[in-house]
Amino acid sequence: MIREFAVEPEVMATWPHFREIFDDLGASHGRLASLYPSDWIERVRRLALQLSPPVRAAAITERMRQSPHRFIATNRAFDRGKDWLTNAEKHEPPRAFDAIIARTNPRDRSRVLIAGEFPRHQAPWKVPRQCEVPRTAANLLACAKLLLDSSEEILLVDQNFDPLEPRFKDPLAKWLQSRATNRPWRRCELHLAHPLDNGMPDKKVLANRQHHLKQLADAIPSGSVLRAFHWLRKPGGKKFHPRFLLTERGGLHYDYGLDEGDSPGDRTIVTLMDHDLWQTLRGDFTDPSPSFDLAPDCIVTIPGRA
């Protein structure tokens, strides 16, 4: 659902092209611009001083600084003895960019889009923000894989998460273990609803659930620590119902939940979250929350050992 685009530095540094492309980037739009090569932002900054009026060049630099969620770091090789477009074109599947946006297309490559000329209402620039996928751990991960690769934080939100059920545990393991083993999560959290008994917090059930949550250690990468939160609805506040995967760059809404289906044909709808809604929900599941209450004994910490 989320695609990676390589944008030639000269294109991003030219104000009319920047204005056309920049606001359509970000996880909420399904498009991330690759930081290719590693000094791509600095290249754009320097070129903007040459290719755009001073005020526009400053605006390009400032807007990029304020919007790290629109970009994705890449570890693709870059030969500094060759031009940018030749480098970008050489990457083949599965490491190929979804598309390359450049000033020209001298070798008539199908993946190269000419800035200012390509049809924005067609693929690959047109990206579906919502899709229906099989409810398997592999497919649930595939929707979020590129987002997770570029993120340092992961928040999984599902009020009904059951650590005893493989249909919950298996997707959790795939999400948390999807990155290189030498990259522990900076923030790794699971957010659940506090169990209730006749509308009141049920501490006995909570303690039992927290005990079972600790058995998730073998699903969590070594070096990462999962913190599981049990939230209570504030009086008159919003209900804890939808299921989400949130990172510091964006999020996805999983319609049926974060678990696998119970039949081979079971499917769920996955939606890229609007940027403003993502920001609101990140606040909802950060202590102190404007929407939910959290007692000190409602957090359990689980060091990983996978």
Q: Is residue 186 part of a domain?
A: yes
CA 184 to CA 6: how far, in whole Å?
27
User: 80-107, pLDDT tens digit by residue?
Assistant: 999 999 999 999 998 999 999 999 999 9
User: 6-16, pLDDT tens digit by residue?
Assistant: 999 999 999 99
User: 283-302, pLDDT tens digit by residue?
Assistant: 999 999 999 999 889 999 99
Identify the DSSP state of 30: T
CA 46 to CA 134: how far, in whole Å?
46
φ/ψ (deg, to 5) at 225: -125, 120
Q: How far is CA 157 from CA 108, 142, 198, 241, in A?
A: 45, 18, 23, 9
147 shares its domain with 173 = yes
Q: Is residue 101 part of a domain?
A: yes
- For residues 8 and 118, the answer to whether their CB atoms sit within 8 Å is no
Q: Is residue 179 part of a domain?
A: yes
Give residue 77's identity as a one-letter amino acid code: A
> 114, 146, 167 — which closes off a domain?
114
Q: Is residue 299 part of a domain?
A: yes
Q: Is residue 119 part of a domain?
A: no
> What's the pLDDT score for residue 199?
87
79 shares its domain with 139 = no
User: 165-202, pLDDT tens digit by residue?
Assistant: 999 999 999 999 998 777 899 999 999 999 999 989 99
Read off the CATH number of the domain in which 174 is found: 3.30.870
Q: Is residue 123 part of a domain?
A: no
107 shares its domain with 33 = yes
Domain count for the chain, please give it.
2
Domain that holds residue 292: 130-303
User: 222-247, pLDDT tens digit by residue?
Assistant: 999 999 999 999 988 888 878 999 99
Read off the CATH number of the domain in which 71 is found: 3.40.50
Q: Is residue 282 part of a domain?
A: yes
Higher-pLDDT residue of 66, 74: 66
> What's the pLDDT score for residue 193?
94
164 shares its domain with 243 = yes
CA 113 to CA 121: how far, in whole Å?
13
